[in-house]
Amino acid sequence: MRKIGLVAGVGAVLVWCLLPVVWIISLSFKSQAAVSGGTDPGFLPLDSFTGFANYADVLADDQFRRAIINSIGISLIATLLSVMIATLAAYAIARLEFKGKKLVLTTALAIAMFPVVSLVSPLFDLWRTIGLYDTWPGLILPYMSFTLPLAIWTLSAFFREIPWEMEQAAQVDGATSWQAFRKVIVPLAAPGVFTAAILTFFFAWNDFVFGITLTSTENARPIPAALSFFVGPDPFQRPAGLLAAAAVVATIPIVLIVLVFQRKIVAGLTSGAVKG
C-alpha cells in the first residue's frame, strides 16, 4: 500500500516537472504548418512528423550557432573565474584572520540581494560609456558579481569542515602553503567547488535580462535572448517548431554539464581523514 502511494507520488511529481519538457520535444518534431495550422493537435507528432528537419534548420541558422557559442563561452568563462575567485576568497575567509572579514561576507550577501532588474539600466549606460556594451566581458562581469556571493558562502562552509591537521600535515611533509592548498585542500573541497560551479553555470546560462539588455548583435547575445529574436525564414509566422527545436538544443549543454559535475559531488569525501 505504501509502495503504491510512493510510486503514485513520484509519478505525479515527474509528470508535473517533465510534461513541459516532453511537450517541447514533441513540438520540435512537428512540421511548421501543422503547429501554426493546428492540423495535428495530438501530443505525439503523427502525420506531421518531420524527423530532424527542425533541428537541421536550427543548426543551419548562423544566428543561432553564434548564440550557442556565445552562451557556452560566456557561461564557462564566468563559471571558471567565479569559482576560482570564490575558492581563494572562501579559503581566506575560512582559514585566515584578517580585518574586515565580516564586512566581506555581509557585502557579498548584500550584493546577492539586489534585484537584477534594478541594476540593468545603470549597467547599460555604464557599459556603453566604457565600451563593454555588446561584448563577452560585458556579460561575464555581471554574471560573476551575482554568482560570487553564493559561491563564496557555499565554499567557505566546505573549507571550514576540512580539519586543520590536513594542511599542517602537508606542510610538514614539505608542501608550501600553495601546494598544501592545491593538492590537499582543493581536492577535499571538490564537492563544494562543483556545487558552486553548477550554481554559477545555471545562473549564467539561464539569464535573460542581462543578455537582452547588454547586447545588441550576435557579437555577444546568449541563447535565451537570441531565442526571443528568432524568427526563422518567414518573418510573419512564428516558427514554433523551430523554436522548440532550438530550446531543446539549448538545454542539452546544461544537462551534460550537470551530469558531469554531479559525479564529482560525492558526499562524505573527507571521511577517513582523521580518526573514525
Binding site for another protein (CB under 8 A): 163, 165-166, 168-176, 179, 183-184, 187-188, 190, 269-276
Q: How far is the CB of 272 from another protein (least distance, A)?
A: 3
Nearer to another protein, 68 or 196 (CB): 196
Q: Are 185 and 159 in contact (CB under 8 A)?
A: yes
Q: How far is the CB of 97 from another protein (least distance, A)?
A: 11
State the DSSP string of 242-255. Answer: HHHHHHHHHHHHHH
Nearer to another protein, 175 or 254 (CB): 175
Q: How far is the CB of 9 from another protein (least distance, A)?
A: 35
Q: How far is the CB of 195 from another protein (least distance, A)?
A: 17
Q: How far is the CB of 87 from another protein (least distance, A)?
A: 16
Q: How far is the CB of 149 from another protein (least distance, A)?
A: 27
Q: For residue 76, give the nearest of 213, 207, 202 by alpha carbon.
A: 202
Residue positions counted in the chain: 276
**CA–CA separation, 38 and 84 (whole Å):** 50
Nearer to another protein, 188 or 242 (CB): 188
Q: How far is the CB of 171 from another protein (least distance, A)?
A: 4
Q: Mark out the alpha helices in 131-222 (DSSP H runs).
A: 136-161, 164-172, 177-180, 186-188, 190-206, 209-213
Q: For residue 112, give the nearest of 81, 74, 70, 154 by alpha carbon.
A: 154
Nearer to another protein, 125 or 173 (CB): 173
In this structure, what C-alpha cell is assigned to residue 245? 527545436
Q: For residue 181, give the nearest of 275, 46, 73, 89 by alpha carbon.
A: 89
**CA–CA separation, 123 and 132 (whole Å):** 10
Q: For residue 227, give the nearest of 60, 22, 61, 67 by alpha carbon.
A: 67
Nearer to another protein, 74 or 185 (CB): 185
Nearer to another protein, 9 or 163 (CB): 163
No. of helices (H) and no. of strands (E), the chain: 14, 0
Nearer to another protein, 47 or 161 (CB): 161
